[in-house]
Amino acid sequence: MTKSEPTLPLTPAVFHILLALFGRERHGYDIMQQVKADSGDTVKMGPGTLYGSLDRMIEAGLVAKGNAQDPRRIYYRLTALGQTTLRAETERLSRVARVARRQLGSA
Partner 1 sequence: MTRPARRKESRSLRLYARLLELYPPAFLQRHRAEMLQNFADLEDASASKTALWLLIGKDLTMSLIPHFFGSRLGNYVIGVVFTWMLLFIIGYFFYGPTPGRPVLHVFPGVLLGMLSLYVATRLHGTPQGSLYVIGVLVAAILVFTIGYFRYGAPGQPILQVFGGFLIGMLSMSIAIRVYGML
Judged by the rule CB under 8 A, the positions of this chain that interact with partner 1 are 27-29, 32, 44-52, 55, 71-74
CB of 62 to partner 1, least distance (A): 17
Select 9 or 52, whichever has its Cβ closest to partner 1: 52
Contacts of 6 (CB under 8 A, 6+ apart): 81, 84, 85, 88, 89
Nearest approach in angstroms of CB 45 to partner 1 is 7
CB of 31 to partner 1, least distance (A): 9
Angle CA 38–39–43, to nearest 5: 125
- Going 62 to 12 to 45 to 22, the CA torsion angle's sign is positive
Amino acid at 23: G
Our CB check for partner 1 shows the closer of 61 and 92 to be: 61
Nearer to partner 1, 73 or 92 (CB): 73
- Name the minimum Å distance from CB 104 to partner 1: 31
Report the residue number, 7 or 33, with the smaller CB distance to partner 1.
33
User: In the chain, which residue ranges form alpha helices assigned H by DSSP?
Assistant: 12-21, 28-38, 47-59, 80-106
